[in-house]
Amino acid sequence: MILLTGATGLLGSHIAYELLQQGKKIRALKRKDSNSTLTEKIFSFYTNEHIELLNAIEWVEGDVLDLGSLEDAMVGITHVYHCAAMVSFLPKERDKMMQVNIEGTANVVNAAMHAGVKKLCHISSIAALGSTIDESLITEETWWKNNPSNSYYAISKYGAEREVWRAAEEGLNVVIVNPSFIIGPGDTSKSSSEAFGILRKGASWYTNGVNGYVDVRDVAHAAIKLIESDVLNQRFILNAANLSYRSFFDTVLVQLNKPKTKREAGKFLLALAWRIEKLLAAIAGRNPIITKEKVGYALQISQYDGSKIQKTINFNYRNIDTSIMEICKFYK
């Protein structure tokens, strides 16, 4: 039996889908206030038998911050995929994000060790690797450096990884994947899928930042292959391509039948924009769409080497342009 945390999210849903297609038995942890609507929507995008697949999941109520619920969920479990995490760039949510991502991960690995789980796959992020000052290629050997450019999300994911490595030292078999910007059919109000929601409305501005991109199906497939392999206590960057934000925006916009970007948003303009948005959001009593940390990412040039997994196991990435074309069908 396999335990999956974060099964109602973008990546968790795709891992669940592939495992079910393989005939595996899944137990999925779900918070009391969450639902499986997105999971069902994603399943239905790939197959007409989505209801049968969804019903094959053993849903259990629990929370990564509730160690008791985790220990109950771990009974009879041999393998764990830990996908549950909080992504936020809002100052008011920092403490909660730190708690969920770091303390929650500590609870998961502790419960897994207590239950005698054979192997755990932790879904981390390229954010946990930090950034390089000289914009050089980031690999699995690029270790964290404290600097002002690290977002609080990055700090939380770095802290989560430390809990996994601690568990590995204590005897738990683990593997860590560090996906770049994950693209796939999801909820446009959350995480990486938010970009598709914005671009679906059209966008004329771009920045000169660079980031890595990977198809969510590749991340799910890689996680499953790694947990089923003999690979232990290693981390793997998952990145299909490094693209400028303008290139990514324009490729998506074309597929969504929208005009390409025309105007560059530079450092000064973006610095002004997030400050104005912060004021407007405060007046309107809503969360700001543009934040200081998001602006930092938009201007950052970060390139990642995702080749290690290809050298370690039999694995190949999807072409990122083809992925965008297929994924945009969902958002249309």
pLDDT at 96: 96
Sequence-ordered list of residues with C-beta below 8 angstroms from that of 258, at least 6 positions apart, any chain = 199, 200, 202, 203
pLDDT at 149: 76
pLDDT at 148: 78
Return d(Cα 14, Cα 221) in angstroms, integer. 9
pLDDT at 118: 97
pLDDT at 189: 80
For β-strands 241-244 and 210-215, DSSP reports them as antiparallel
pLDDT at 313: 94
Q: Tell me which residues of the chain have a pLDDT lower than 70.
A: none
Cβ contact 302:211 at 8 Å: yes
CA angle 311, 2, 310 (to 5 degrees): 10
Across the chain, mean pLDDT equals 92
pLDDT at 36: 82
Cβ atoms within 10 Å of 173's Cβ, excluding its own? 18
Q: Whole-prediction pTM value? A: 0.94
pLDDT at 332: 83
DSSP state of 103: I
pLDDT at 20: 95
Fold category of 2-184+213-240 in CATH: Rossmann fold (3.40.50)
Cβ atoms within 10 Å of 170's Cβ, excluding its own? 10
Return d(Cα 120, Cα 79) in angstroms, integer. 6
Cβ contact 192:85 at 8 Å: no
pLDDT at 232: 96
**Of 160, 316, 174, 171, nearest in space to 234 by CA:** 174
